[in-house]
């Protein structure tokens, strides 16, 4: 289905494939696992049908042919806080030798972050700091927002 949607968009036609996470109101989650808001499936919790419909409305405007929608489980463990170390990691990804010379209000996008750098920063935040940010949120980050 994803390849079909990609081809349709390449041909100038509308198409969207949504890779949904667990749905909590119907199916296996409800019947076999007695799904409720505490049921976790692969680090996610079931999304309610009403939420899916709201999300679908928002997804109709994305410029991509394939997307996903799921609800991450709340991580109750203590989270590491971003720090100067994170600033140095992000500066290294961006190829900036001295982040102290960068204005606190300059976004990572303004510093020349491309899509590969953005993905690497997003994964660094997720793995090392339990921070899940959207692409837009990563684009809007500044070094000041990464310091404790």
Same domain, 6 and 47: yes
Please check whether residue 79 lies inside any domain of the structure: no
Q: Which domain holds residue 60?
A: 2-72
Q: What is the CATH number of the domain that holds 110?
A: 1.10.1200.10
pTM: predicted TM-score of the whole model, two decimal places = 0.45
Q: Read out DSSP for 59-101?
A: HTT-S-SEEEE-EEPP--SPPPPP-HHHHHHHHHHHT-S-GGG
Structure tokens, 17: 């494939």
Percent over 70 (pLDDT), the chain: 81
20 and 61: one domain? yes
Instruction: Assess whether 68 and 108 both reside in one domain.
Output: no
For residue 118, what are its two tokens? 């953005």
Inside any domain, residue 62: yes
Task: Provide the number of structural domains found in the chain.
Answer: 2
Are 10 and 55 part of one and the same domain?
A: yes
pLDDT of residue 8: 92
Whether 116 is in a domain gets the answer yes
**Average pLDDT of the segment spanning 73-88:** 61
- Asked if residue 72 lies in contact with residue 131, where contact means CB atoms within 8 angstroms, the answer is no
Closest CA to 21 of 43, 53, 37, 2: 43
Over residues 30-55, the mean pLDDT reads 71
Element (H, E) at 119: helix 115-129
Q: Where are the beta strands (DSSP E) in the chain?
A: 17-20, 44-45, 66-69, 71-72
Instruction: Please say which residue of 26, 48, 72 terminates a domain.
Output: 72
The percent of residues in the chain predicted with pLDDT above 90, rounded, is 9
Mean pLDDT, rounded, of the chain: 79
Q: Which of 29, 49, 72 finishes a domain?
A: 72
Q: Cα(first)–Cα(last) distance of the chain, in Å?
A: 44
Q: Identify whether the C-beta of residue 81 lies closer than 8 Å to the C-beta of residue 30.
A: no
Same domain flag for 110 and 57 = no
Residue 98 lies in a domain: yes
Residue 49 sits in the same domain as residue 21 = yes
67 and 14, same domain (yes or no) = yes
In this structure, the answer to whether residues 51 and 18 fall within a common structural domain is yes
Q: From CA 143, how far away is CA 71, in angstroms rounded?
A: 28
């Amino acid at each position: 289905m994803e390849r079909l949607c990609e081809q349709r968009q390449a041909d100038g036609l509308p198409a969207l494939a949504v890779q949904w996470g667990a749905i909590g109101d119907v199916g296996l989650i409800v019947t076999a696992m007695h799904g409720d808001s505490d049921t976790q499936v692969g680090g996610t919790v079931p999304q309610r049908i009403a939420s899916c419909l709201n999300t679908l409305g928002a997804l109709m405007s994305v410029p991509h042919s394939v997307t996903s929608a799921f609800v991450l489980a709340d991580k109750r463990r203590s989270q590491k806080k971003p720090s100067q170390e994170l600033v140095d990691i992000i500066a290294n990804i961006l190829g900036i030798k001295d982040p102290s010379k960068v204005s606190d209000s300059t976004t990572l996008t303004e510093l020349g972050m491309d899509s590969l750098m953005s993905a690497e920063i997003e994964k660094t935040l997720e793995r090392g700091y339990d921070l899940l940010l959207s692409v837009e949120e990563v684009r809007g980050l500044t070094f000041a927002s990464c310091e404790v």
